[in-house]
Each structure stands twice: as C-alpha cells, then as structure tokens.
Amino acid sequence: MEKFKGLDEEKQQKILDASLKEFAEHGYEKASTNRIVKEAGIGKGMLFYYFTSKKDLYEYLTEYSLDFTVDKYFQRVDTSETDFIERLKKTAQVKMEAQMENKNVFNFLGTFMLSPGADMPPHIQKKYEHMLEMGNRMIYEGIDLSLFRDDVDVEKAFRLIRWSIEGYQNELLHKLEGQNIAHVDFAPYWDEFYEYLDILKKSFYKKREWEQ
C-alpha cells in the first residue's frame, strides 16, 4: 500500500478509477478484480502487490473517497451565506465541480452509503460519521430562519426544498446519462435550475416589502 502511493499520479488514478467504477457498479461481493486489472491496464499480480487483498483495496477506496469528498466538496462550501436557498445554490455548484473532477468517487460513495461501514475498521467509521456531521452543518448551520414564511414549519420547509433540489439533480443526471459529461454545456441547465430556485423562494419565503 505504500508501494501504491509511490506510483506516479497518472497510474494511481487509472487504478483508482477502474476500482471505484467496478465497486460502484457491482457492489463489494460481485466486483471482479479481474475486470479491474483489465480496465486499469495492469497485470493481475500488481493489484495484489499494491494491496494485500480485495478487502484491503476496498477500504483504501473508501477512505480515499471520504477524504476527497470532504476536501473537494464539503470544505469548499461557503457557510457564511445565511440565505438557505442561496447556500444550496452555491453547494450545488461546488458539488458539480467536484463531480467533474472525479465522477467515480461520488458513485462509489453513493453505493457505500446505502449500507454503510458493515465491517469497516474503526478509523474509517469515524471518518464516515465525521463526514455526515460535516454535511449536516454545511447545509443547516447559521441559516437565517426569518426569511421563511411564518405560516409553515421551517424544518419541513427545509426538507421540501432539499427534496426538490435532489429531484432536479436526479432527473438531470438521468437525462444526461450516457453522454460524455465533459462535452455537455451546462449553462442552460444552470439557468433552468435557478428558475426552480426562484420559484422555491417565492413559495417558501416571506413576501418582502419592496416586492409589489
């Protein structure tokens, strides 16, 4: 595993990509080390030279993904923004950037979170819990509640807004499936996304005086 870290970035990334993809697509049990080495373009032996076992590889990937998510996503969200919807807007942008930088990490972590940590070593479980907590703070901490209408439960409004945004993101992801993400022009989708956010503001926020 120290062996692996000594490789040049490019080769490391190729192996990480192949592995993340394989585990994301098939889950731990049914993921195939044979397919991984073929996809990564290395001999079978090397994988078990870098990592002692399939499980060892999987744990390395998990830790790598958690670190990546915290560094490139959670840590970059501007939590000084107190307008809930505006913060979600910025969150979405940062998330998209991180996703462009490494699509596979998100797919991998997605499947991991469906049945988390079953028998992960404690230090990884700690990291995972830390990430969850950080994600929560990133979204909810320091929000200006006075922007919301007085006649709805703010907690519930939070959730409705979050579900709406997740719904849009999922539908977009599904629509763009199969296309080469790098070649897609996202501008019109951002515009559309902002329109949805405007509607959410009109709907869940107080009417402000200067609007007629």
Which residues of this protein are in contact with DNA, per CB under 7 A? 3, 6-7, 31-35, 41-46, 48-49, 53-55
Q: One-letter amino acid identity for 173?
A: L
In the list DNA, its own copies, none, the entry touching 49 (Cβ below 5 to 8 angstroms by class) is DNA
Least distance to its own copies, CB of residue 3, Å: 32
Least distance to DNA, CB of residue 130, Å: 28
Beta carbons of 41 and 96 less than 8 angstroms apart:
no
Q: What is the rounded distance in angstroms from the CA atom of residue 130 to the CA atom of residue 149?
A: 32
In the list DNA, its own copies, none, the entry touching 23 (Cβ below 5 to 8 angstroms by class) is none
Least distance to its own copies, CB of residue 37, Å: 20
Least distance to DNA, CB of residue 28, Å: 8
Instruction: Choose between 14 and 162: whose C-beta lies nearer to DNA.
Output: 14
Nearest residue to 124 (alpha-carbon basis) of 60, 172, 186: 60
For its own copies, the binding residues in 9-38 under the rule CB under 8 A are 30
**CB neighbour list of residue 152: distance below 8 Å, 6 or more residues apart:** 204
Nearest residue to 99 (alpha-carbon basis) of 60, 77, 73, 75: 73
CA atoms within 13 A on the CB side of 76: 16
By the criterion CB under 8 A, which residues form the site for its own copies? 30, 149, 151-153, 156-157, 159-160, 162-164, 166-168, 171, 195-196, 199-200, 202-204
